[in-house]
């Protein structure tokens, strides 16, 4: 069907997007073809509900909606990250996993932290267990219903072999010239940094990574500044509601990556909850006050 949809220089092509960043990328990629490019947002077209469960379905929904509304050939894309160990997630929901940034766009660092949490949740720790791919699908649609689908997938070249495990800070190691992948963990929860470094023959290469995390100690108290209550069970949930850390004791020290969490404390059959925002480098104690305001079951009365 590809030969039935033809665009020539000067032809109008509707880009089925309301995203300014994606529009700029499309215009840069398509500039050499001399097309009259206009976006669905610029035309004031409604945004269709992306109800598909595959990249092809969502690309089709957007392309055909724009083509019908504008009575013009339209191009739409749908893309995302699929990780094998977590059932292909986030997949078509990649943008939803990212959430919104303070500036209104997508914060994909949040999304990557959710992927990391999910991988840790299923015990995927080796490169082979963490394989995934980035998928992109384009749909070129005509108002009469004709379409052309283009699919692309970027996958890793292969598993990286583990060279040296458990390298301590300020350790000097001997490596052949080449590119190496460094994985740095801070604490045992979700503070993980990954980076590639290039080693040149005969030169000392210093690799420095900066963790966006903080050391926090949780404690349950009857009043602000009070003594920590013993025999407390702790759960820390990430923004998606997944439990990423469990602990028991009056004090629960841990390292958490920068982000938003919900802390759950259980003591004597009572459950208390507190929202927590972790800022990089801001270490300290976090008090959960055992009161009606923080109790999940306030009707039962405080201890």
Residue 102 reports pLDDT greater than 70: no
Same domain, 39 and 136: yes
Q: Is the distance from CB of 17 to CB of 29 less than 8 angstroms?
A: no
Averaged pLDDT for residues 178-185: 82
Positions annotated as catalytic residues are 78
Residue 28 lies in a domain: yes
Domain assignment of residue 76, given as a range: 10-108+132-154
Same domain, 143 and 218: no
DSSP letters for 14-58: EE----HHHHHHHHHHHGGGT-EEEETTTTTPPPPP---SSHHHH
Same domain, 150 and 241: no
> How many domains does the chain contain in total?
2
Q: Is the distance from CB of 273 to CB of 220 less than 8 angstroms?
A: no
Same domain, 149 and 222: no
What the block records as the tokens of 274 is 């507190």
Instruction: Please report, for the domain that includes residue 229, its CATH number.
Output: 2.60.40.10
Chain centroid to Cα 154, Å, comes to 17
What the block records as the tokens of 277 is 């925002």
Same domain, 101 and 26: yes
Instruction: Please report, for the domain that includes residue 46, its CATH number.
Output: 3.90.950.10
Residue 127 lies in a domain: no
Most confident segment among 128-137, 145-154, 188-197, 211-220? 211-220
Q: Which of 248, 297, 293, 243 is nearest to 270 (CA)?
A: 297
Residue 63 lies in a domain: yes
Range with lowest mean pLDDT among 6-10, 104-108, 260-264? 104-108
Same domain, 244 and 143: no
CA 292 to CA 138: how far, in whole Å? 53
Range with lowest mean pLDDT among 47-61, 69-83, 85-99, 148-162? 148-162
Same domain, 20 and 147: yes
pLDDT for 301: 39
Q: Is the distance from CB of 179 to CB of 189 less than 8 angstroms?
A: no
Same domain, 51 and 150: yes
Range with lowest mean pLDDT among 10-14, 44-48, 236-240? 236-240
pLDDT for 184: 87
Same domain, 140 and 255: no
Residue 184 lies in a domain: no
Distances (CA, A) of 134 to 112, 137, 218: 13, 10, 38
pLDDT for 3: 47
pTM attached to this predicted model: 0.52
pLDDT band (50, 70, 90) for residue 51: very high
pLDDT for 19: 86
Residue 265 lies in a domain: yes
Same domain, 150 and 260: no
Residue 1 reports pLDDT greater than 70: no
Same domain, 16 and 141: yes
Count the Cβ atoms, other than its own, within 10 Å of residue 48: 18
Same domain, 97 and 20: yes
Residue 285 reports pLDDT greater than 70: yes
């Amino acid at each position: 069907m590809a030969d039935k949809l033809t665009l020539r220089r000067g032809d109008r092509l509707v880009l089925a997007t309301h995203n300014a960043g994606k529009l700029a990328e499309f215009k840069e990629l398509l500039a050499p073809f001399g097309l009259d490019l206009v976006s669905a947002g610029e035309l004031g077209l409604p945004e269709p509900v992306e109800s598909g469960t595959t990249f092809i379905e969502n690309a089709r929904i957007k392309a055909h909606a724009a083509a019908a509304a504008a009575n013009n050939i339209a191009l739409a894309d749908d893309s995302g990250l699929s990780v094998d160990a977590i059932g292909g997630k986030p997949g078509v929901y990649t943008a939803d996993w990212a959430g919104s940034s303070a500036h209104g766009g997508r914060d994909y660092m949040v999304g990557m932290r959710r992927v990391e949490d999910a991988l840790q949740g299923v015990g995927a720790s080796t490169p082979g267990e963490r394989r995934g791919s980035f998928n992109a699908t384009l749909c070129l649609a005509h108002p009469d219903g004709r379409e052309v689908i283009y699919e692309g997938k970027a996958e890793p070249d292969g598993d990286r072999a583990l060279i040296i495990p458990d390298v301590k800070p300020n350790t000097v190691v001997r490596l052949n010239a080449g590119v190496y992948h460094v994985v740095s963990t801070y604490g045992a929860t979700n503070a993980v940094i990954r980076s590639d470094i290039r080693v040149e023959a005969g030169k000392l290469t210093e690799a420095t990574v900066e963790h966006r995390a903080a050391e926090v100690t949780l404690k349950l108290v009857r009043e602000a500044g009070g003594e920590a209550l013993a025999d407390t069970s702790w759960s820390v949930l990430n923004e998606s509601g997944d439990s990423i850390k469990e602990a028991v004791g009056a004090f629960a020290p841990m390292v958490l990556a920068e982000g938003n969490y919900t802390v759950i404390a259980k003591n004597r059959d009572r459950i208390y909850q507190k929202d927590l925002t972790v800022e990089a480098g801001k270490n300290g104690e976090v008090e959960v006050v055992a009161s009606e305001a923080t109790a999940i079951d306030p009707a039962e009365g405080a201890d």
